[in-house]
Structure 1
Amino acid sequence: MSAATAAGRRSGAPRQGRRPGALERRTSRFGWFFAAPAVALFGFFFAYPLVASLMQSFQVTQDGVTGFGGLANYEKLAGDDLVWLSLMNAGILLVFQVPLMIGLALLLAVVLNQSWLKFRTTFRMIHFLPAVTTLVAYSLVFRVMLQADGGVINQLIGVVGIPPIDWLNNPFWARVALIGSITWRWTGYNMVLLLAGLQGIPKEQYESAALDGATGWRTFRHVVVPQLRPVLIFTSITSTIGALQLFDENFILTGGGPSNATLTPVLYLYRVGFRQFDFGYASAIAWLLVLVIGIFSIAQFWLMRDKEA
């Protein structure tokens, strides 16, 4: 008998193939007992609604009677122009708002991580404050600020001679206003995440780069960015999901208008489900959105992966 085997038997370690003893069974039961509330909450508030919405997406209502309709709701999606318009609007947010927000957050994180900057804690708190404001409250504030007549924004640009802009009733400027408000709300949140990633980079790597003669840009490109890749992937994916699931801001600012220029998939889902009461078709829209979010998330993860790994 080897020394390791003898030590394992003396320590009471379970042998392969041995039936669990009374103590192990009791411990397992206690484990399930303490985990049961979390499992019940997960099943009731997540798993059940998920399965129920999937089943509901195959149901149609005709003459007040709801029944199984097969793929009718999904076939309807293909010919619904508003579905594709809402996805296009979400795509515009992805192309313009997400890179702008992540870029600003990274710039702020780098600046607020400098040791020579005084009152760093105060500046960090100021930039993070928008993230703790409620969505409805800040959307209402922006709606007042962006009013064509007497809005603060038009008053400020009027000082430099720019004529008033109808921010909320012009399709182009409504999208600009929506992008600006979302960027103001979430830049500080992403900044804190990136700042935490920057503070996790060992100082020895900066010193090694300096000894090799690397400039500030080369250090940022070859030291900072590779170390921040996991955080950048996380912030990019969560920001993408947030843009595709956008509802509160455009619902309050523009109501999806003008001319559906700010209509997003979730807002359209709300209209179909809670105004037209077609919950089967609304569920189909939701599952289409799940598919789109999954594709974009996987694509971003693949594009930003470590190619040397």
Structure 2
Amino acid sequence: MVSTLLRPVVKAPGRAGARSSARRRRPGYWFVLPAAVLFVIFFLYPLLSSLWQSFFSTAGGESSWVGGAQYLRLFHDPLVAKSLFNAFLILVIQVPLMVCVALALAYLLNQSWLRFRTGLRAIYFLPAVTTLVAYSLVFRVMLATDGGAANQILGLVGVAPVDWLNSEVWSRVALIASITWRWTGYNMVIILAGLQGIPTELYEAARIDGAGRWAIFTKIVIPQLRPVILFSSITSTIGALQLFDENFILTGGGPNNATLTPVLYLYKVGFQQFDFGYASAIAWLLVAIIAVISVLQFVILKEKK
């Protein structure tokens, strides 16, 4: 009886407690509100507006509802197929090349025996801080057929000048080289952060078991870096499919549409032909392709349980 009387009484939260809790949460909503407003104005509204616009066609300054006709038009447009082919060609060559080079550089710059590691990391990362327009213009000057630095270097070893920006093959090579130069250091830093997060105990245990450098790299480093490699691969894939600045400045999509990409074609349709409904349909086609490829990469490269 005494113990029952001395037991503390726990009151169930009533309406007053709920109102007090709501008042304590209210300031948090005010802090979130500016970001939410900006998100709605500059992301959600344009996104939904472009989707709605893709069902309309503009002719003579007037818009008319055409339903899915704009999407059916995509399958009969040879330039859509050409731009997608160019984007996938760049993706298949450039993304694996860049990720592999970034992985090799990160692994090298993570070695304790290497001198001047900090300076080398900064040097390799410098291209990532240059603006897209500035470095594209530099590459355009360097790859000029007459007097370009690349052809001058080739001339020193007796190689004939290469028409980098006016040949279908070499313009793609120049574009892939410029993108790789720009983004390798960025991905290297990401992979380097992942390397530094691997516990040293794993390396010590592998050395005790007699594992060599290659066994450590393939059996410890690569499995531990799987999430980081997945992140770099997905972001690089999205970047390759959204390519615009480099090919717009270097080649303008030429020659013969050899470097035309979906975003560059979208720009030409929307802002040169003023066919914003069809441009919106191209944008949503690209969104769907990026989503499918990202899911496939995640499934293929995901960490095995």
Quickly name the TM-score band, shorter chain normalised.
Answer: over 0.9
CA distance in 2 between partners of 1:179 and 1:31 (Å): 46
1:78 alignment counterpart: 75
Q: 1:8: Cα distance to partner?
A: 10
Whether the aligned pair in 1 keeps the contact of 2:70 and 2:277 (CA below 8 Å) is yes
Q: Aligned pair 1:156/2:153, yes or no? A: yes
Query: Counterpart of 2:101 in structure 1: which amino acid?
Result: L
Q: 1:32: Cα distance to partner?
A: 1.2
Q: 1:91: Cα distance to partner?
A: 0.3
Higher mean C-alpha displacement, 154-163 vs 108-117: 154-163
Q: 1:299: Cα distance to partner?
A: 0.5
Structure 1 unaligned residues grouped into runs of 5+: 1-5
1:226 alignment counterpart: 223
Q: 1:162: Cα distance to partner?
A: 1.2
Q: Name the count of aligned residue pairs.
A: 299
1:238 alignment counterpart: 235
* Dislocated runs of 4+, deviation >3 Å: 6-9, 17-20
Q: Which residue, 108, 111, 115 being the options, matches 2:108?
A: 111
- 2:115 is paired with a residue whose SS is coil
* TM-score, normalising length: structure 1: 0.94
Q: What does 1:1-309 correspond to in 2, within 5 Å?
A: 9=10, 20-307=17-304, 309=305
Q: 1:62: Cα distance to partner?
A: 2.9
CA distance in 1 between partners of 2:256 and 2:36 (Å): 45
* TM-score, normalising length: structure 2: 0.95
Report percent identity of matched pairs: 63
Whether the aligned pair in 1 keeps the contact of 2:58 and 2:276 (CA below 8 Å) is no
Q: 1:64: Cα distance to partner?
A: 2.8
CA distance in 1 between partners of 2:59 and 2:41 (Å): 29
Q: CA RMSD in A?
A: 1.6
Q: 1:58: Cα distance to partner?
A: 0.4
CA distance in 2 between partners of 1:22 and 1:64 (Å): 54
1:174-193 CA-to-partner distances (Å, cap 9, x unmatched) read 00000000000000000000
Query: Counterpart of 2:264 in structure 1: which amino acid?
Result: L
Distance 1:19 1:175, change over 3 A: farther
1:83-122 CA-to-partner distances (Å, cap 9, x unmatched) read 0100000001111000110010000001100101111000
Distance 1:37 1:164, change over 3 A: same
1:145-203 CA-to-partner distances (Å, cap 9, x unmatched) read 00011100011112121110000000000000000000000000000000000001111
CA distance in 2 between partners of 1:54 and 1:79 (Å): 20
Structure 2 unaligned residues grouped into runs of 5+: 1-6
Query: Counterpart of 2:78 in structure 1: which amino acid?
Result: D
